[in-house]
């Protein structure tokens, strides 16, 4: 299946990748109504009830963001879970219309700014503001007719990296790593090996021993894991890592 640039996609990363489409495009020029939905399609509002790993992919329409490298027909991946900061490029909604612009805030107004001098800034006075659906994460040029499997792989890779960071931070809090995510010297090599086995399964890492040995400059983790399995402390190590993964 090829990516259809006339379609808004919802991409959900969970145990199984799912994708739902809604026919329409998002304005990079003027506001445009998102349109009606059939009984089989969820509304954009319902799309916002995202679980971890959910993304929106929208087709750009117009040229108001041309100086930011977004052209008519490009596909934009939107990250709905990031809290936008002033200066971020966002997908915004106001009075049932949607647009992609730079978001700026000052003490008196909220501004949606184009990246094309031929277009005007959209100004919202104090007390009036658009709904920010999400922050622009990536732009896929229309010249790249990406297969759906590549879109899924890209989103899954990003989600795995986020999960890896969470696990490393949990390992720091458990007292096994320092703030730079380096293993502390007093951590048993067998515990590191059990951690590697369980974390690599969580992240879907292939060639787990090579992954960990290159990342931390270790050697012979496979042997350490075999020693751990035979050790009376294996159950203790297993519980420690389960606690890390559960946080």
CB 58 within 8 A of CB 25: yes
User: Which residue among the candidates 25, 101, 208, 224 is catalytic per the annotation?
Assistant: 101
CB 47 within 8 A of CB 8: no
Q: ∠70-158-134 over CA atoms, to 5°? A: 50
| 124-140 residues labelled b (16+ CB within 10 A) or e (exposed) | eeeeeebebbbbbbebb
101 carries an active-site annotation? yes
Contacts of residue 19, Cβ cutoff 8 Å, sequence gap at least 6:
9, 10, 11, 12, 148, 152
User: Which residue among the candidates 25, 64, 208, 224 is catalytic per the annotation?
Assistant: 64
Distance, CA of 208 to CA of 197 (rounded, Å): 7
Q: Would you name the residues annotated as active-site residues?
A: 64, 101
């Amino acid at each position: 299946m090829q990516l259809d640039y006339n379609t808004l996609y919802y991409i959900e990363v969970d145990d199984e990748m799912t994708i739902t489409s809604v026919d329409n495009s998002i304005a990079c020029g003027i506001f445009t109504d998102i349109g009606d939905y059939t009984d089989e399609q969820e509304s954009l509002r319902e799309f916002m009830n995202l679980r971890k790993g959910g993304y929106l992919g929208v087709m750009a329409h117009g040229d108001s963001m041309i100086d930011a490298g977004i052209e008519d027909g490009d596909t934009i991946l939107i990250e709905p879970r990031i809290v936008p900061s002033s200066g971020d490029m966002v997908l915004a909604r106001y009075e049932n219309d949607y647009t992609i612009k730079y978001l700026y805030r000052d003490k008196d107004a909220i501004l949606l700014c184009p990246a094309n001098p031929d277009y005007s800034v959209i100004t919202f006075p104090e007390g009036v503001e658009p709904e920010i659906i999400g922050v622009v994460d990536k732009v896929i040029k229309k010249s790249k007719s990406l297969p759906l499997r590549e879109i899924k792989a890209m989103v899954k890779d990003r989600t795995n990296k986020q999960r890896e960071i969470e696990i490393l931070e949990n390992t720091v809090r458990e007292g096994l790593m320092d703030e730079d995510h380096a293993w502390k010297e007093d951590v048993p090599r067998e515990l590191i090996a059990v951690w590697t086995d369980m974390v690599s399964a969580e992240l879907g890492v292939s060639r787990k021993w090579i992954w960990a040995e290159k990342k931390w400059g270790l050697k012979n983790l496979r042997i350490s894991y075999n020693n751990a399995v035979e050790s009376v402390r294996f159950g203790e190590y297993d519980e420690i890592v389960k606690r890390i993964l559960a946080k």
